[in-house]
Amino acid sequence: MNELTTLVDWSRAQFALTAIYHWLFVPLTLGLGVIIAIMETIYYRTRDEKWLATTKFWMTLFGVNFAIGVATGIILEFEFGTNWSNYSWFVGDIFGAPLAIEGILAFFMESTFIAVMFFGWKKVSPRFHLASTWLTAIGASLSALWILVANAWMQYPTGCEFNPATMRNEMTSFWAVACSPMAVNKFLHTVFSAWTLGGVFVVGVSAWMLLKKRNYDHCQRSLKVGAWVGAVGIILTSITGDTSAVTVAKYQPMKLAAMEGLYKGDFRQSIVAAGILNPAKTVTNDEEPFLFHVSIPYGLSFLATHNPDAFVPGIQDIIDGVSYDEQGNRVNTVSYAERMQVGKQLQAMMAQYDVARRSGDKVVTDSLHTAINRDFKYFGYGYLDSPEEAVPNVPLTFYTFHIMVTIGGFLVAFLLLALLFVYRPQILGKARWSKWWYWLCILAIPLTYICSCSGWIVAEVGRQPWTIQDLMPNKVAISDLSAGYVQVTFWIFAVLFTALLIADISILCRQISKKSQQNLNEV
């Protein structure tokens, strides 16, 4: 058991390492793709060579980031086969479909048109080049779409049915998988947050140039597009964040409870604005969950249901199977102990099904097939050793969620101010604190990355211990490997990805410094 636990922990650590490093490149690619497409559109409409120079500047930074992002993304997809082969075998028919579409359609689309975008200047018509730039940006977003569809299915498995004859989950409706509420919200929230990061990146780099007193006109052009894309992105991110919270409350209530450190729910549940968790608190003791907290009345009820009077269950309520309807009547849902019992019964029925199938007893197999699929939504609980095992890491989920929300609130104010200063530059010109504002713009870049990565940590850690929500825990999804092998590859990847990140930052900084010393008012 200790060997299994070690293998699961190291496999999760390796996948988390790869995913986080990959995500450092993806949102900047998505955000800058839209920004350079907008800049080139302005150039196409005005034929102003200054806009062409500005477009080419940001296009260079986009290309560097894109190339390294592809390298980390390929390794990430390979890990499903190397480290999580049981998962891939169990749901390969479902999970593989969006990834195949991503590779065949989206990736080839962006890979094809990015060549025209970089090397097609003066070789194709301006209209075709502009179309190639937009298709590259759209292709990057489509690539994100299908990967996020796959991820959303892991959060909310739908459009599928378990086939006991093959012992695999099989797709019954592609559109149910592709258009599930979890997939739609996850895609929109992710892409809009990438617009935010791309906008902040452009604002921050432009602010650095202004501090160095370089290319003022170029910076003003860049700031105008970057601030608009960032402001629109953060506003839409906030809106989709609200709808995502409702979706999580409906399909992953345990994640929502962990996000708020909520152990016992209530009607008109408040939301924690700031707080420090009690490290001694667990599901099995009566310790207070917080050492200190400031809460907003009715906040969580409204966030989760858009009804300020609604009941929101806590971790203990969910484990015990306790909820309440709108009239205040207690509703007994299925407790985790009962789900575990059903899951073990399902495992026994699958063994009976296999015996009946081998003997050709169709009546028994049909009966068992119906019974298995009726309760299959609790299948994964049969692998748990205790109900408490289904509780995610509450401190990590809680703190990253509140970091994300706090920085998100800052970004709303920051980007609106950036827009104001774009159209009222005289405010900064006359202010003694203008340098502090430029430094804040630069600082906003790493803060936005922290916000973005925190969101992904909430999404992934908050659904633990599940690889597939309620159907397959991590310890069942892993490959039959030695923990030592995974440890070795973890450190290899850690060194490799760190080197790639250093190279990416180094090349970006060198390009920014080099280009900023040129006259970017000319091509």
At residue 3, the pLDDT reads 60
Query: What is the helix (H) or strand (E) element at residue 101, kind and residue range?
Result: helix 85-101
Residues 129 and 196 in one domain: yes
Kindly state whether residues 341 and 382 are assigned to the same domain: yes
Whether 264 and 245 map to the same domain: the answer is no
Query: If residue 428 lies in a helix (H) or strand (E), which one and from where to where?
Result: helix 425-430
92 occurs within a structural domain: yes
Least reliable range by pLDDT among 72-86, 398-412, 468-482: 72-86
CA–CA dist 129, 137 (Å, integer): 13
Answer whether the bond into residue 465 is a cis peptide, omega within 30°: yes
3-state secondary structure of 171: strand
Q: Are residues 236 and 327 in the same domain?
A: no
Same domain, 74 and 188: yes
Residue 26 has pLDDT above 50, yes or no: yes
Q: How far apart are CA 170 and CA 365, in angstroms?
A: 18
User: To the nearest whole percent, how much of the chain has pLDDT over 90?
Assistant: 46
Q: Mean pLDDT over residues 77-100, rounded?
A: 84
301 and 220 housed in the same domain: no
On whether residue 521 sits in a domain, the answer given is no
Q: What is the pLDDT of residues 312-354, one digit of tens each?
A: 999 999 999 887 777 666 776 789 999 999 999 999 998 898 8
Higher pLDDT, 68 or 421: 421
Q: Taking all residues of the chain, what is their mean pLDDT, rounded to a whole number?
A: 88
Asked if pLDDT for residue 442 goes beyond 70, the answer is yes
pLDDT of 481 over the 90 cut: no
Does a structural domain hold residue 142? yes
When divided into structural domains, the chain yields a total of 3
In the chain, the N- to C-terminal Cα span, in Å, equals 64
On whether residue 233 sits in a domain, the answer given is: yes
Q: Is 77 helix (H, G, I), strand (E, B) or coil?
A: helix
Q: What is the pLDDT of residue 164?
A: 87
pLDDT at 227: 94
Last residue of one domain, picked from the residues 314, 332, 350: 332
Choosing from 370, 387, 404, the residue where a domain stops is 387
Tokens of 60: 């260079």
Helices (H) and strands (E) in the chain, counts: 18, 10
* One domain, residues 41 and 144: yes
| Residue showing tokens 């980390």 | 72
Q: Is residue 88 part of a domain?
A: yes
Residues with Cβ within 8 Å of residue 500, at least 6 apart in sequence: 21, 68, 71, 72
CA atoms within 13 A on the CB side of 176: 11
Is the residue at 211 inside a domain? Answer: yes
**196 and 182: one domain?**
yes
Name the least confident of 180-189, 355-364, 382-391. 355-364
Please name the residues in contact with 312: beta carbons below 8 A apart, sequence gap of 6 or more.
Answer: 249, 256, 257, 262, 265, 266, 269, 300, 301, 304, 305
Degrees (nearest 5) of the Cα angle 280, 284, 290?
Answer: 40
* Residue 523 resides in a domain: no
Residue 522 lies in a domain: no
Long-range CB contact pairs, 235-241, < 8 A, 24+: 235/412, 236/188, 236/192, 236/195, 237/189, 237/192, 237/193, 237/195, 237/196, 237/408, 238/408, 238/412, 240/185, 240/188, 240/189, 240/192, 241/189, 241/408
Same domain, 323 and 373: no
Average pLDDT, integer, range 44-55? 90
In terms of domains, do 194 and 53 share one?
A: yes
Answer yes or no: are the C-beta atoms of 98 and 149 closer than 8 Å.
yes
DSSP 380: G
Any residues with CB less than 8 A from the CB of 501 and at least 6 apart, and which?
21, 24, 68
Q: How much is the pLDDT for 358? A: 87
Mean pLDDT of 69-79: 79
Which H/E stretch holds residue 160? strand 160-163
Whether residues 383 and 404 share a domain: the answer is no
pTM above 0.75, yes or no: yes
Question: Is 273's pLDDT higher than 60?
Answer: yes
Select from 315, 332, 349 the last residue of a domain.
Answer: 332
140 shares a domain with 46: yes
**74-110 b/e with 16+ CB inside 10 Å = b?**
eebeebbebbbbbbbebbbebbebbbebbeeebbebb
Return the structure tokens found at 65.
């980031």
pLDDT over 50 (residue 111): yes
Cα distance between residue 247 and residue 256, in whole Å: 10
Is the pLDDT at 523 greater than 50? The verdict is no
- Domain residue limits at 374: 336-387
